[in-house]
Structure 1
Amino acid sequence: MSEAVEPATSSSETTSPTEVVEGSIDKSEDFVEPDTKRRKLATKNDDKKHKLEDRLGGILCCAVCLDLPKAAVYQCTNGHLMCAGCFTHVLADARLRDELATCPSCRVEISKTSATRNLAVENAVSELPSECQFCNQQFPRNSLERHEEQECDERISGCKFSRIGCPWRGPLHERPEHENQCNHPHRTGAEVMESLKAIDQEMADERKIYDSIFELLGFEKILFNDIQLKPYRTDEFVHRLFYESSRFSAFNNQWVVKARINNSQKDPTQSSERGLTYQLILKSKTTTPMNLSYIVLRGPVGDIKVKPSIHQFEFTEQENESPYLPLRLPDSNECNRLLAAKVINFRLIMFLASK
């Protein structure tokens, strides 16, 4: 019998399994990063994700605006948090819709009496770091405002010659260099006077108000009443919110103050800008015209933030309602705060011109 002859194979065509595995390992190792480098990359990518302050920021944020509160923090009976601005906005919207205010998270009823301040959260948020808007460095929130207003060298500043027309604004540390090269100190007197006109006009308008008040204080008949406005609803198909005071006596007549939101806008909840206007109404009959000046101030009871403004109207038997005039509040947040309260308190001073 002839022996079976195995086919010959060349060394180039045969490769041992061990060599194949080792070759693939060698090639893959060229693209695999060392363990130490992988750990550093993972730590770097997940550093922000796992920072305690970032996790706390997500837990302590307001349930409405999803931002960390800057001042007071309120909570519902179930512990959901709201910043002061959002809390008053929710209460104001509920009053405008004639509904019960509810927590945006759990829908439990909230009010000024049922909701409570969370002082622990307020203190914790004040210690969390926040980034300066100018230098991008991080500081505790309770010291960030001081840093941005008084300490940061990158905060925006104006030239000391801005009163004579220099428009430059830039980082504080660049201010000395600019002022040394500023051309405005070398301008002529006529050019400087043009720049001062706007400042003079602003000061003149403010002084006019105070001069008018002192002039009114010289009137023979002056009375003041501490007014309390209460919320009511109109009888229309869509009930609108308005405010009205009880009758009060002044100059042997009966008076009432009314107020409305956004000049009786159909749906004030759809507007982010809110304001109050008010009018003075003479309820009793008068035989002689009454030339009356009046002004609204904060008063000893309420805490309304209103800028003084003098109004004048001549009340007669036919014209017994003054036009609606704006209550000069700082912003919409102050209006929401007043709407969230049960009543609005202020002092009304009335001056009657002698005939």
Structure 2
Amino acid sequence: MADVESSAVVQQPPTNANSMNLNSIPLLASAELLGESNSAQVSLQQQQQSQPIAGAIGGGNGGSAGTSSNSVSNASSLALDVASSENSSLVNSGVIGSGVGGGNPSSVGGGKIDSGEPPAKKQMLDNPSTSAGSGNSASQHEKLEYRLGGILCCAVCLDLPKTAMYQCQMGHLMCAACFTHLLADGRLRDQIATCPNCRVEISKSTASRNLAVEKAASELPSECQFCNKEFPYKSLDRHEQYECQERPTNCKYSRIGCQWRGPNHETNEHERNCLHPTKSGYEVMAALEAHDARIKEEKKMFNTLIDLLSYEKIIFNDLQMKPYRTDEYVHKLFYETARFTAFNQQWVVKARINNSQRDPHQSNERTITYQLILKTKTTTPMSIHFFALKGPFSDMKVSTQIYKHEFTDQSSESDYYILPLPDSSECNRLLSNKGINFRLLMFLLNK
């Protein structure tokens, strides 16, 4: 009976020890999570000290004592394994920081450190798999091309250059259209043109062409505005004008009034089903009359020029108009040539911008008008036909438009007539020059 009680007493402490150690696992894990690294060692020392006590309680039953000591050691190892596994899982989940020299360097105390990188770079760092590997080489090239397009674009219009690319002394890029527009604005405001980025002075003598940027930009892919496919920038214009199947195209029966306009690949289908070829002549007469009116106007211009070439007195002069400003409160910009001789008389050509608008620099649409002025006295009226065109010292893009004025002592100045330039960009290009070179043809009709 005593043996039974002693054995019961001997078996009970190891059971309590095991239950105590198992219950203390969360406490050990939490202590280690709070940074008390010595708590695990203290618990191990306590468990080792409990082993001889359990053997003493066992008395003469050595086998029971050995069993209890083994169970205690197993319980302690189990506690350490569970605590370490919980600790590692919490560290990996970001609940606690890993301290100095280990763990995730971008997380401290459960919060992430902001690295201050741009959003695109932060996304690439957070998801390296999207920017690494041979399978994503196409996306890498696309990102590189996109970044290069942003670097090589014009600093004013933010577009890739189609023609020339200029740079200021600090290296900021400007396409030819924006560069001439800035120079023209400086001319109109009577101020020195400056770079929009660094405000350094720009002019045709200080700015220079950047051929490397022009060649690099011509090789970058650009999206077609009709089919949304990418082509090298240098071949995009040809594709959009002649090759793209989605480019807008008129019906071949537009001359007789068909108003259809659609994608090029639908043209044949439409022309097969177009109703205009089956209409009567009376129904298409209005369209034919409008077409004849345009042809008649072009023919009239040609016939007038042929008739003028048959005049006895024909003269031309290669001239240059230079800018000057009035002395009024609001200074107005004018251009004027030096005096030149024609038909034994002294003449001057004068020009103005936007018909002498008060603030022409505030308008994107710009035009040049000019007049012919007789500077000497004349005894007989002079019927003069004249027009301006590109001369040997000019690259002006001007159309032919013939004007006529009868010069007398009372009417020595003609009206201001439009200089027929193709668009405002050509006007800006002329204004950006120090002078406007052109050739003036004059025809005198003898009465």
**What amino acid maps onto 1:282 in structure 2?**
L
Residue from 195, 219, 225 that aligns with 2:311 = 219
SS state at 2:288 partner: helix
Residue from 76, 85, 94 that aligns with 2:177 = 85
The offset of 1:151, in angstroms, is 1.5
Q: Does 1:71 align with 2:163?
A: yes
Partner of 1:140: 232
Provide the alpha-carbon RMSD of the alignment.
2.4
Partner of 2:200: 108
Q: State the distance in 2 between where 1:129 and 1:66 align.
A: 16
Partner of 1:9: none
The offset of 1:238, in angstroms, is 2.1
SS state at 1:189 partner: coil
Q: State the distance in 1 between where 2:140 and 2:427 align.
A: 39
Residue from 301, 306, 320 that aligns with 2:412 = 320
After TM superposition, the score normalised by the length of structure 1 is 0.87
Partner of 2:249: 157
Q: State the distance in 2 between where 1:113 and 1:200 align.
A: 50
**What amino acid maps onto 1:123 in structure 2?**
K
Q: State the distance in 2 between where 1:147 and 1:292 align.
A: 47
The offset of 1:95, in angstroms, is 0.9
**What amino acid maps onto 1:194 in structure 2?**
A
Q: Work out the percentage of aligned pairs sharing the same amino acid.
A: 63
After TM superposition, the score normalised by the length of structure 2 is 0.69
Q: Does 1:292 align with 2:415?
A: no
Q: Does 1:345 align with 2:440?
A: no
Partner of 2:423: 331
Q: Does 1:177 align with 2:302?
A: no
More helix by share: 2
Maintained 8 Å contact 1:48/1:54: no
SS state at 1:257 partner: strand
Q: Deviations over 1:106-134 (max 9, x none)?
A: 11111111111100000000011111111
**What amino acid maps onto 1:205 in structure 2?**
E
The offset of 1:97, in angstroms, is 1.3
Partner of 1:126: 218
Maintained 8 Å contact 2:131/2:140: no
Maintained 8 Å contact 2:247/2:264: yes
SS state at 1:191 partner: coil
Q: State the distance in 1 between where 2:436 and 2:411 align.
A: 26
SS state at 1:66 partner: coil
Partner of 1:10: none
Unaligned stretches of 5+ residues in structure 2:
1-22, 27-81, 94-126
The offset of 1:42, in angstroms, is 8.2
Q: State the distance in 1 between where 2:405 and 2:304 align.
A: 15
**What amino acid maps onto 2:215 in structure 1?**
N
**What amino acid maps onto 1:242 in structure 2?**
F
Partner of 1:54: 146
| Higher Cα radius of gyration | 2
Partner of 2:358: 266
Partner of 1:95: 187
Maintained 8 Å contact 1:130/1:139: yes
Unaligned stretches of 5+ residues in structure 1:
1-13, 29-37
Distance 1:137 1:288, change over 3 A: same
Q: State the distance in 2 between where 1:189 and 1:48 align.
A: 61
Q: Does 1:238 align with 2:355?
A: no
The offset of 1:261, in angstroms, is 0.5
Q: State the distance in 1 between where 2:209 and 2:412 align.
A: 45
Moved over 4 A (4+): 38-44, 47-50
Partner of 1:306: 398
Work out which structure has the larger RCO, using CA pairs closer than 8 Å and 6 or more positions apart in sequence.
1
The offset of 1:192, in angstroms, is 2.5
The offset of 1:39, in angstroms, is 6.7
